[in-house]
Structure 1
């Protein structure tokens, strides 16, 4: 049995009287007695006073966080928090500072590949712990190190909120600047100004972006500094928007010099680094704005070769720049198609507000006379979709059972309506016979949201022979309900179909799509699947 607060208090009191302990903790004798007998539960303040009086090393504080009536998980969370607070109140060691440096560096790397909505809660949690450390007394060197850590974490918060399209990012830049200035760390202050210039750039404040970028470079003072390497190419991009070719070229030359001067540890994919891939991306963006499409394409291709596949944000922004080049070269249909493919191919959790904003900019740049192109209509539909994003763990895929016949019936009616017919639910007896009888004609996979509601369906059967004596999985119907579209449900169903095919030993998965369904065609194209020519479809009705 776990020891309670009262039992631990009695054990730690030992031979001392209740009166003596009460005097040491500055509380009433009867109150201490009631705590020992479990008649009362301590406040955090009383627990801390008793812990200090009995030299309990945080044991009583931790036990006080476990309140009666809480679930085991709640008790575990409270216990963890109590223990961390006890450690935070102690001396800050070199090992603890090194651990914080690693934690912040890990967050910096995560900005390059983690979805912002998933990353933000962890940032907040770690920042809360850092704030607790700052509330205690420390020596001057340790407080300076913690203040620099605060500036860096504030910058990461701002950067993450920026990508999410949250205006509150601006206040975090101010917090970061204040912390860096308090620590008198010019390199960190330069880094914050450089990143802040990107927010001003993307929000349309080009003069403000140039001013912030110049401030970052001035703070760097000509020394090797990530802030300098980040700021110079942003300045180039800002000048390019105003068609200042000479100023753009000068800023890009400074960016190349700044990158070359960085140590290898800073030329990395991280919010705290700057890489050759980023310089190629930024140079390509500047050339795109200047209308130098040939050079821009070369930079785009080089950047895509250098960027890792999991750096979804920058790769998508580069592909949207490629679309802008197509538009500049008089190919609006191809530009719209490129933009649509970029967004649809992007994992839904990475479709940040920043990327959607850039795609909307491209749409607005298309001449009015070409806005009626079919490719433009498809792009506008994609951009008009709700911004709600589901995590992968919010959708589960399972095989339908006989108890799902009613919801399958409803979905069949919705499918009929989607294709222009009437919403007439499928016949339940036919469904049960076809799917759950002695000789099932097909298998159905259902996608369910976190509330167990069915949001999508895929039906398939096996065909033989495929190639030689192989078997293939044939996807007959893939459908996502209207309220759940463009949230990753179709992708989850397709992944489950591939798994089903692999488990059955199939050599391939096959399906058809209507030629007048552009969103479906764009989705399949985004999977990297090419249409298969050479087949003619026949249908013989009874």
Structure 2
């Protein structure tokens, strides 16, 4: 006999709450779900909605385990190829369901906006593995809700679904799952287009350029970044991000003049680039008000000017906000790479040795790729005591996944 999903959800919810040592009232305060509602869920007398399941999942830190119990046929890009026909059919099926009530649609927006802010903050301190279940569930729940609405509330739901999907794409890349990253980014572009937002289509090309950059393909990075900037109706901000990515591609190719032309273009575009989302939130990095000098330092390291790169990165890393440890770690590793290339081996080892615990905590495929490059460069000096002492720690970090 098939188990009742309401009973299974209630048992799991009660166990998770008990493990935290929380009363129903305590969980109600943390999840913004009423105590009587929670009591009904635990008894199995009420079917949980995806919105409520996501809210209690986030409050209990269940990493998607509760939300998955009411996933309602959601697809998982990390375990399947992106079957667009199947995804579109799922949303078409949802459109056949009764329209979503206005108050439930607004509850979706309120809960998932708050959750998204929390997930973005967590993304600066935790591993992508902790974030992806909630991002996947949030993206597909919001897209399904948007398919059952009309008007402005539908646009708001599509746009929020797109933001979840775009961030899921970045976290998938941080896991080293490039195919899943591309699939989520494509979803984000489609869903943002449904909301009337043209920027995400251009930004999707910029994200593809980033994947090419980490593959070491300079020419493809430049081509994709230019494609991003050439998309019709794309904002100045996305064109600026694309120009900056193009600069990194030119730097990887060793073309100093082309790199600095692209950086100058990006600076002009950023000066004329109002953020399209409230409170400064927009497609692309939002954790640092101005990271242009960090990107310049990144480029200089690839342009054969490692001493200048290390100097610039040292000054700019000190300005990274305390709440952005993963961003700080990323550029500390780039500074260590610049020092190693400048043959300042002892200083490179000291900088990287201090960063090793943070690299392990971040558990980032992109940061590890830079660590791998530093380790390769330092390998030329393995007879030096500082290098011999550090290499085992670097190898341990690189075996971390």
8 Å Cα contact 2:306-2:341 kept in structure 1: yes
Residue 232 (structure 1) aligns with: 243
Residue 196 (structure 1) aligns with: 208
The alignment partner of 1:309 has SS state of coil
Alignment CA distance shift 1:283-1:272 (3 Å): closer
CA distance in 1, matches of 2:345, 2:106: 57
The alignment partner of 2:124 has SS state of coil
Alignment CA distance shift 1:86-1:68 (3 Å): closer
CA distance in 2, matches of 1:146, 1:353: 31
Return the match for 2:323 from 288, 294, 310.
Answer: 310
Alignment CA distance shift 1:204-1:277 (3 Å): same
- Higher RCO, 1 or 2 (CA under 8 Å, sep at least 6)? 2
Alignment CA distance shift 1:195-1:110 (3 Å): farther
8 Å Cα contact 2:199-2:234 kept in structure 1: no
The alignment partner of 2:322 has SS state of coil
Alignment CA distance shift 1:194-1:348 (3 Å): same
The alignment partner of 1:151 has SS state of helix
Structure 2 regions of 5+ residues with no counterpart? 16-40, 54-97
Matches within 5 A, 1:249-268: 249-263=260-274
Alignment CA distance shift 1:335-1:272 (3 Å): closer
After superposition, the C-alpha distances for 1:374-413 in whole angstroms (9 at most, x for unaligned) are 33333331122266879xxxxxxxxxxxxxxxxxxxxxxx
Return the match for 2:365 from 332, 338, 353.
Answer: 353
8 Å Cα contact 1:241-1:290 kept in structure 2: yes
Deviates more, 1:89-98 or 1:321-330: 89-98
Alignment CA distance shift 1:81-1:373 (3 Å): farther
Higher strand share: 1
Structure 1 regions of 5+ residues with no counterpart? 1-39, 44-63, 391-542
- Alpha-carbon distance, 1:213 to partner: 1.7
After superposition, the C-alpha distances for 1:131-158 in whole angstroms (9 at most, x for unaligned) are 4424x53225443433333322211111
Residue 427 (structure 1) aligns with: none
- Alpha-carbon distance, 1:266 to partner: 6.6
CA distance in 2, matches of 1:77, 1:381: 53
- Alpha-carbon distance, 1:98 to partner: 4.6
Q: Does 1:332 align with 2:345?
A: yes
The alignment partner of 1:286 has SS state of helix
CA distance in 1, matches of 2:108, 2:269: 29
- Alpha-carbon distance, 1:239 to partner: 0.6
Return the match for 1:82 from 40, 44, 48.
Answer: 48
After superposition, the C-alpha distances for 1:58-83 in whole angstroms (9 at most, x for unaligned) are xxxxxx82479946627539677624
Residue 126 (structure 1) aligns with: 138
- Alpha-carbon distance, 1:364 to partner: 1.8
CA distance in 1, matches of 2:314, 2:186: 36
- Alpha-carbon distance, 1:356 to partner: 1.7
Q: Does 1:282 align with 2:295?
A: yes
8 Å Cα contact 1:234-1:282 kept in structure 2: no
8 Å Cα contact 2:372-2:398 kept in structure 1: no
- Alpha-carbon distance, 1:120 to partner: 2.2
Return the match for 2:6 from 61, 65, 70.
Answer: 65
Residue 365 (structure 1) aligns with: 377
Task: Give the TM-score taking structure 1 as reference length.
Answer: 0.52
After superposition, the C-alpha distances for 1:227-253 in whole angstroms (9 at most, x for unaligned) are 233222221111111111111101111
Q: Does 1:248 align with 2:189?
A: no
CA distance in 2, matches of 1:160, 1:231: 20
CA distance in 1, matches of 2:253, 2:337: 16
- Alpha-carbon distance, 1:103 to partner: 4.1
The alignment partner of 2:293 has SS state of helix
CA distance in 1, matches of 2:217, 2:300: 19
Residue 219 (structure 1) aligns with: 231
- Alpha-carbon distance, 1:327 to partner: 2.2
Alignment CA distance shift 1:180-1:70 (3 Å): closer
8 Å Cα contact 1:108-1:271 kept in structure 2: no
CA distance in 2, matches of 1:84, 1:360: 41
- Alpha-carbon distance, 1:294 to partner: 4.8
CA distance in 2, matches of 1:323, 1:235: 23
The alignment partner of 1:306 has SS state of coil
Residue 65 (structure 2) aligns with: none
8 Å Cα contact 2:135-2:165 kept in structure 1: no
Asked which structure has the greater CA Rg, the reply is 1
- Alpha-carbon distance, 1:271 to partner: 4.5
Residue 487 (structure 1) aligns with: none
The alignment partner of 2:163 has SS state of helix
Matches within 5 A, 1:431-446: none
8 Å Cα contact 1:201-1:209 kept in structure 2: yes
Alignment CA distance shift 1:282-1:386 (3 Å): closer
The alignment partner of 2:231 has SS state of helix
Alignment CA distance shift 1:242-1:290 (3 Å): same
8 Å Cα contact 2:9-2:44 kept in structure 1: no
Task: Give the TM-score taking structure 2 as reference length.
Answer: 0.68
Q: Does 1:323 align with 2:339?
A: no
After superposition, the C-alpha distances for 1:484-521 in whole angstroms (9 at most, x for unaligned) are xxxxxxxxxxxxxxxxxxxxxxxxxxxxxxxxxxxxxx
CA distance in 2, matches of 1:105, 1:363: 35
CA distance in 2, matches of 1:174, 1:312: 28
